[in-house]
Amino acid sequence: MAIDAPMLARIRRQFPAAARDATGRHRAFLDNGAGTLVCRAAAEREARARIDWSANTGNVFPESKGAEATILAGREAVSDFLNADGPHAILSGESATSLLFSLSYALGRTFKGDENVVLTAYEHFANVSPWEELARIGKIHEVRYAKFDTETFLLDVDDLASHVDRKTKVVAVAAASNFLGTRSPLPELARIAHEVGALLVVDAVHHACHGPTDVRALGVDALVFSGYKLFSRHGSFLYLRPDLVEELWPYKVDASPKHGPEKWEWGTRDQAMFAAVSGAIDYLASLGGTARTSAKSGAQRRARVRMAMESIERYELGLNRLILKGDGTTPALPDVPGLTLFGPRTIPNGLGRDPTFTFKLAGFEDPELSRVLYDTYGLAVGGEDYFSRVPRLYGMETAMRATFVHYNTRADALVLLRALHELAAKRG
Ligand SMILES: Cc1ncc(COP(=O)(O)O)c(C=O)c1O
């Protein structure tokens, strides 16, 4: 299945706000890195769950049973999306940040204090502070950072490997940097981590909406993503290897279950969060056409989601190329005079790149440029630090960021290119 014009029109009907803002103004929404728009299917499922299944779980009446079924269906949908081992490997939480803290504390209990954790230099702080906290309270000796190449913006895998030793317990990496768009070579990193018996923990919050994620094929031990960056609402999900779900002991209240995902979950669940994520994943599966498998419905959905995410990745590759190379008439982003792009200028073979473009434009302050881009050109583009370590490495407080997803059009990309060229020319 290719995302062609009729398919794109079908996709955009799921996201009315991709074309018009709440005031009815025509615009292009490129602030997807901060949170994607919510698809109709997710919002409608959430509303139905709120109304039909609003009781708490654990009781005999239909609303309570419905709430339980909705939660289980949500875990199944997430498991299908990630090609995980099943709903028993899917934990939920308020945010990716809270889930990574929960995981780091549970792992920290098993350490002696002389171990280390290896991260990349381009992590979001959600995947930094939980590990730094372990060092602060003496559960590990140190957190080490693998550098990225400042020309190509790709992870220096040799540098990462040089930080990993027999005392490394965890290698924790972003699937893709939310600042640079750089993707991490996860199978290679899994091999490096596993050679010394360390776990590979993946922060897929930024990347999950851009391509297929297969936790078993990648060989990851834990992987987190957030609903609000996958066309759903807030609330996040952690895949954890089933043996670790059982073996580790998270911070929990005494009365809560001692096994399964519920052991890890604080307080009562919001069934509507699970309904919404099922809606988003079923929407994605619906883009995957008809999978040729006679297997039962879960396997069907896995196959369809995979096909959909592959199509999305192919489509976004076209947007990536357009931004980085231009279209022959409109010059590319790196050719805007006075523009500094933080992220790969070419698309690495086999690895790809998330269509996230972070830049500084000489002569403009970021918040002001965000305002001008919206007011004059109808372009929603961020101008902040994105809780990333990267701006600090460059001594910057903020930068501009445009992130494309599959509901964005080539026209959206061209408006951005023309706007930046025009502003650069006016500045002189
Ligand atoms: C790569 C990455 N990790 C983690 C987070 C934090 O996610 P959450 O808000 O669910 O804690 C973000 C949010 O911007 C992100 O981009």
pLDDT in tens, 94-120: 999 999 999 999 999 999 999 999 999
Measured from CB, residues less than 6 Å from any atom of ligand 1 are 95-97, 124, 126-127, 174, 178, 203, 205-206, 226, 236, 387
Region 369-379 average pLDDT: 97
Q: How far is the CA of 389 from the centre of ligand 1 (A)?
A: 12
Return the best residue to mutate from 205, 229, 233, 234 for the ligand 1 pocket (most ligand atoms within 8 A of CB). 205
Q: 3 near 312, Cβ under 8 Å?
A: yes
Region 81-85 average pLDDT: 97
Q: How far is the CA of 183 from the centre of ligand 1 (A)?
A: 15
Output the six-digit token pair for 372. 């001008």
Region 318-333 average pLDDT: 96
Residues 6+ apart with CB under 8 A from 287: 1, 3, 7, 11, 308, 311, 312
> Is 80 exceeded by the pLDDT of residue 60?
yes
Secondary structure class of 31 (helix, strand, coil): strand
**What's the confidence (pLDDT) of residue 295?**
52
> Is 80 exceeded by the pLDDT of residue 140?
yes
> Is 90 exceeded by the pLDDT of residue 77?
yes
Looking at the chain, the domain(s) classified CATH 3.90.1150.10 span 5-38+312-427
> pLDDT band at 293, cuts 50/70/90?
low
Return the best residue to mutate from 178, 234, 354 for the ligand 1 pocket (most ligand atoms within 8 A of CB). 178
Tell me how far apart the alpha carbons of residues 406 and 39 are, in angstroms, rounded to a whole number: 12
Question: 5-38+312-427 adopts what CATH topology?
Answer: Aspartate Aminotransferase, domain 1 (3.90.1150)
Return the best residue to mutate from 180, 186, 206, 213 for the ligand 1 pocket (most ligand atoms within 8 A of CB). 206
> Is 80 exceeded by the pLDDT of residue 297?
no
Secondary structure class of 118 (helix, strand, coil): strand
403: left (phi over 0), alpha (psi -120 to 50) or beta: beta
CATH 3.30.530.20 fits 45-284, yes or no: no
First to last CA, the chain: 45
CA-CA distances (angstroms) from residue 390 to 128, 183, 246, 366, 399? 12, 14, 35, 16, 10
Q: How far is the CA of 242 from the centre of ligand 1 (A)?
A: 24
Output the six-digit token pair for 65. 């049973």
Residues 6+ apart with CB under 8 A from 216: 83, 84, 85
Tell me how far apart the alpha carbons of residues 191 and 42 are, in angstroms, rounded to a whole number: 36
Looking at the chain, the domain(s) classified CATH 3.40.640.10 span 45-284
**What's the confidence (pLDDT) of residue 290?**
65
- Environment class of 428 (CB within 10 Å of its CB; exposed 0-12, middle 13-18, buried 19+): exposed
